[in-house]
Amino acid sequence: MRLPICLVWLFATPTYGQNASLIFTDEDAKALKTEMLAKADKDVRVFFAENFGRNIENPIALIGTSDPSLLNEHLSKALKEMGRRQRSSPVDAGKLCYEKPIGAAANRSYTVMCWLKPKAYDRRWLASIEQRLPPILAHEFTHQLQYHLANDDPPQRVNGTKELLLGPNWMVEGTAEVFERIYSVQVQGKDAANTAD
């Protein structure tokens, strides 16, 4: 019965979805945070690869922290390591870190995530956050796919303005919302009517 075993092996280990983002996080509880981010990253990549045949092979940095003062520091280090140019202005870390339980933003080459600082980085905290992270990451990965599929790297702007050429914004955001919702419903089994936030 060698053949069925080989077939199972073939289907269980797709050649796509194996890429991983470069993880950047704080020294405090680094192992736990790295493991959490890496798992969410892998789950999201497998979701896009298996369901839509889409993957991104170019390096992407995934930055996660609860500390707004470290967010841009991590991002700057990540861009340097990937040989990408630095941002002309820092990410608004306060907005990202305090307006939602988990704030996130993405560009072609990175995703930054900021969550509210817990009392302790323990398994209880992990249980409370690990289900919420992947759908948000699916949203951000959709943005990276948009740049990737539009061949828009580095991202172009409209004739000397700050407005991104990739658009219109309602379509870019709407599409990402749809994939975030599909992830919640299809992968996590959430009720489609109850995923709005």
Residues that bind Zn ion (CB under 5 A): 173, 176
State the residue number with the nearest CB to Zn ion.
176
Q: State the nearest-atom distance from the C-beta of 23 to Zn ion, in Å.
A: 21
Fill in the amino acid letter for 158. V
Q: Is the peptide bond before 4 cis (omega within 30 degrees of 0)?
A: no
Question: Which residue from 87, 187, 192 is spatially nearest to 141, judged by alpha carbons?
Answer: 187
Give the CA angle between residues 132, 187, 190 to the nearest 5°: 65
Q: State the nearest-atom distance from the C-beta of 175 to Zn ion, in Å.
A: 9
In this complex, which beta carbon is closest to Zn ion, that of residue 73 or of residue 152?
Answer: 152
Backbone angles phi, psi at 114, to 5 degrees: -135, 125
Q: State the nearest-atom distance from the C-beta of 180 to Zn ion, in Å.
A: 8
CB crowding 7-18: b at 16 or more within 10 Å, else e: eeeeeeeeeebe
Fill in the amino acid letter for 34. T
Two tokens, residue 45: 């990549």
In this complex, which beta carbon is closest to Zn ion, that of residue 90 or of residue 174?
Answer: 174
Q: State the nearest-atom distance from the C-beta of 1 to Zn ion, in Å.
A: 48
In this complex, which beta carbon is closest to Zn ion, that of residue 152 or of residue 173?
Answer: 173
Q: State the nearest-atom distance from the C-beta of 143 to Zn ion, in Å.
A: 6
Going by their DSSP bridges, the two strands 61-65 and 22-25 should be labelled as parallel
As a 3-state breakdown, the chain gives helix, strand, coil percent values, each rounded to 5, of: 50, 10, 40
In this complex, which beta carbon is closest to Zn ion, that of residue 68 or of residue 103?
Answer: 103
In this complex, which beta carbon is closest to Zn ion, that of residue 66 or of residue 107?
Answer: 107
